[in-house]
Amino acid sequence: MAEKQNSQKEGPRNPLYPQDRSNINPVLTEDQKSELLQLLFDHKSSFARDLSEMKVYPHYQHKIDLIGSRKIYKRNYRFTAEDAKVVQEQIDNMLHHGIIEESTAYEFNSPIFLVNKKME
């Protein structure tokens, strides 16, 4: 019981910190787990725990070369009001953090859909 109270005070678990070994492959030995955790910790700036930690690489602009001039437009899937709200929040969050940018190319699109997270 005291263990649960302590973990609640520490905040969410993060696999980049050595105290959390619960999500590491159980086939690995303790030495291998320690080595893996140390490697991840040493390079933690390469990983993002959320969108606010994602960085833009300023020296490259992604370009998509089209094979032909044929327009590709697919109608979006319908969402429930709750799902539409989630989608809009995700889009707004990505726009805010510079992950995506607005486009005026309305003749090219791809439908979006939501995937539920696996509950542990």
pLDDT at residue 17 above 70? Answer: no
Say what percent of the chain tops pLDDT 90: 12
**pLDDT the model gives residue 4:** 41
Residue 77 backbone phi and psi in degrees, to 5: -75, 155
Q: Which amino acid is at 47?
A: F
* Range 52-72 average pLDDT: 78
Say what percent of the chain tops pLDDT 70: 81
Q: Which of 6-15, 50-59, 72-81 has the lowest mean pLDDT?
A: 6-15
- Structure-token pair, residue 5: 């109270």
Q: How far from 48 is each of 34, 39, 51, 75, 86, CA to CA, in Å? A: 21, 15, 7, 32, 21
Length of the chain: 120
* Range 57-84 average pLDDT: 82
Only one residue has tokens 């696999």, namely: 15
- Structure-token pair, residue 20: 């959390």
pLDDT at residue 29 above 80? Answer: yes
Asked if 24 and 15 count as a contact pair (C-beta separation under 8 A), the reply is yes
Tens-place pLDDT, residues 85-119? 999 999 999 899 888 888 877 777 788 888 888 77
111 burial via Cβ count (<10 Å: 0-12, 13-18, 19+): exposed
**pTM greater than the 0.75 cutoff:** no
H/E run at residue 86: helix 81-96
Q: Which amino acid is at 31?
A: D
